[in-house]
Amino acid sequence: MIQRLAVSLRRRPAVAPLGAAVRCVSLASVNVTVPLNFWAGKRRTSQENCNKENVYEPATGRVLCHLEPCGAVDVNQAVKAAKSAFGHWSKMSGMERARIMIEAAHIIESRREEIAEMEVVNNGKSITEARLDVDSGRLCIEYYAGLASTLAGQHVQLPGGSFAYTRREPLGVCVGIGAWNYPFQIASWKSAPALACGNSMVFKPSPVTPVTAVMLAEIYAKAGAPEGLFNVVQGSQETGSLLCHHPDVAKVSFTGSVPTGKKIMEMASKGVKPVTLELGGKSPLLIFQDCDLENAVRGALMANFLSQGQVCSNGTRVFVQKNILPEFAEEIVKRTQAIEIGDPLLETTRMGALVSQPHLEKVLSFVDQAKKEGARVLCGGERFVPSDPRLKGGYYMTPCVLGDCTDEMTCVKEEIFGPVMSLLSFETEEEVLQRANSTTMGLAAGVFTRDVRRAHHVVEQIKAGSCFINNYNITPVEVPFGGFKMSGIGRENGQVTIEYYSQLKTVFVEMGDVDSLF
């Protein structure tokens, strides 16, 4: 998911991006030795005797650092710090909170390259995409800083001079649980609306990508946030369970898979805690024969190969109207084969490494299964070994386009979460709408057509929360993002998200005497 490229370029000075000659880090050279947990204003080592877990550099396959999972004692301390900070932060005016958030955004901008490089080292995506992710996080914080001072209730005049009013109040300590595909961006997207509303947060990154969320915690602290306002605890399922069950946690926001989202919803329900769930997808992309073919090809590439295909909203079921399928497939294959794979810190690289060895093997197994079920590999779908000897152990594969796909195939029904595009043919609008909606998920969808009436009719019929007309995977922070059906509950970004991080209190004021029945 990206901001519009034009927005990012307009915001930055007109200079060339930092290249290898001035780069702060290089692959196989970074060793993270500082603690990755953060609460009460500084980095912390775990106080419990937990086994450390290896964290890998996807581009090389080497161990980057060791993760200390947080147990009950650590989680209690982090939540306690957040609860203490909430008492002060929630009493500040919106303008006061906004000033600190804006300062945090300024620090992010000044450290853009450093954060992006660490995102590449820990996640494997290209430096070009990592910069845009950092920009998206910064813009989100700026956006909600602007909304912080606008939070207001409603005045309702009642008979006899009496009246009622509503107050929008913060929830308390919120928990954010992030995914490994957009580590810094997700931490920003969850924390920004929470803090703007007056909440504090304990954030748990994915144990696969633990590094950059702690950088965000340090940035908030440097910007002047109270100690404990934004805390980071590392760990896997056990740590997440401790957070969801904690009695002092008021809300849980999770980004990740559908099965894990169900478990989090169940755990939160024990305390009747509200949840925001941004889960998986198997999104359709509809290409009609009257489309601008060049834009449709570009859109399909953006819908499938950003972040090595590891994007929840990806439009991996590409339905192409029968008359233009041969031409479309030919162009898609040509462009896909031209994608530069390799060192993600190089400016020319457009596809880096997948996030882990097990995930790479899982994605490749989907390609093998597709072939067994009758799909035809038009290009890619194989393990890739870069020529650079440092990258021999990295988790690379060639982006894959599958032809001759049918709706019953595993590659069409299940979320692969890798660089695998499935091409399907259709003839009529009615037919493709029925097939597009034939899924338990509904995160996103897209349509390419020159017919504006058709475009709006199609997105009206599509059962998905985030729809695109003649574009794909554009996520400006000003508009809500989220899904229908099993793709989630609630929204991230946009004004509406304020409602998911606050609660409404109604106050009745009697200006006369009590009219009692007793």
- Residue 180 sits at the vertex; the CA angle it makes with 256 and 83, to the nearest 5 degrees, is 75
* DSSP line for 308-358: GG--TT---EEEEEGGGHHHHHHHHHHHHHT--BS-TTSTT-SB---S-HH
Contacts of 309 (CB under 8 A, 6+ apart): 316, 363, 399, 416, 417, 418, 419, 420
- Catalytic (active-site) positions: 278
Structure confidence at residue 2 as a pLDDT band (50, 70, 90): low
Could you report the per-residue pLDDT of 400-436, keeping only the tens digit for each?
999 999 999 999 999 999 999 999 999 999 999 999 9
Could you report the per-residue pLDDT of 312-321, keeping only the tens digit for each?
999 999 999 9
Checking if the pLDDT of 18 tops 80, the result is no
SS (HEC) of 14-53: CCCCCCHHHCCCCCCCCCCCCCCEEECCEEECCCCCCCCE
Checking if the pLDDT of 383 tops 70, the result is yes
Looking at residue 28, its pLDDT comes to: 76
Could you report the per-residue pLDDT of 296-349, keeping only the tens digit for each?
999 999 999 999 999 999 999 999 999 999 999 999 999 999 999 999 999 999
Looking at residue 177, its pLDDT comes to: 98
Looking at residue 476, its pLDDT comes to: 97
Average pLDDT over residues 81-85: 98
Looking at residue 47, its pLDDT comes to: 87
Percent of the chain residues past pLDDT 70, beyond the cut: 95
Pairing mode of beta strands 400-403, 420-426? parallel
Between residues 451 and 22, which one has the greater pLDDT? 451
Average pLDDT over residues 26-30: 83
Percent of the chain residues past pLDDT 90, beyond the cut: 93
C-alpha of 408 from chain center: 29
Checking if the pLDDT of 20 tops 60, the result is no
Looking at residue 16, its pLDDT comes to: 33
Closest CA to 444 of 424, 433, 459: 459
Looking at residue 25, its pLDDT comes to: 76
Between residues 445 and 14, which one has the greater pLDDT? 445
Checking if the pLDDT of 3 tops 70, the result is no
Checking if the pLDDT of 22 tops 70, the result is no
Contacts of 19 (CB under 8 A, 6+ apart): 347
Asked whether 148 and 224 are in contact (CB, 8 A), the reply is: no
C-alpha of 134 from chain center: 12
Q: What is the pTM of this model?
A: 0.94
Looking at residue 29, its pLDDT comes to: 85
Structure confidence at residue 49 as a pLDDT band (50, 70, 90): confident
Average pLDDT over residues 30-44: 95
Looking at residue 53, its pLDDT comes to: 94
What is the average pLDDT value for the chain, to the nearest integer?
A: 95
Q: At what angle do helices 112-123 and 127-148 cross, to 10 degrees?
A: 120
Q: What does the alpha-carbon distance between residue 405 and residue 399 come to, in Å, rounded to a whole number?
A: 17
Could you report the per-residue pLDDT of 86-137, keeping only the tens digit for each?
999 999 999 999 999 999 999 999 999 999 999 999 999 999 999 999 999 9
Between residues 171 and 12, which one has the greater pLDDT? 171
Between residues 50 and 273, which one has the greater pLDDT? 273
Looking at residue 27, its pLDDT comes to: 86
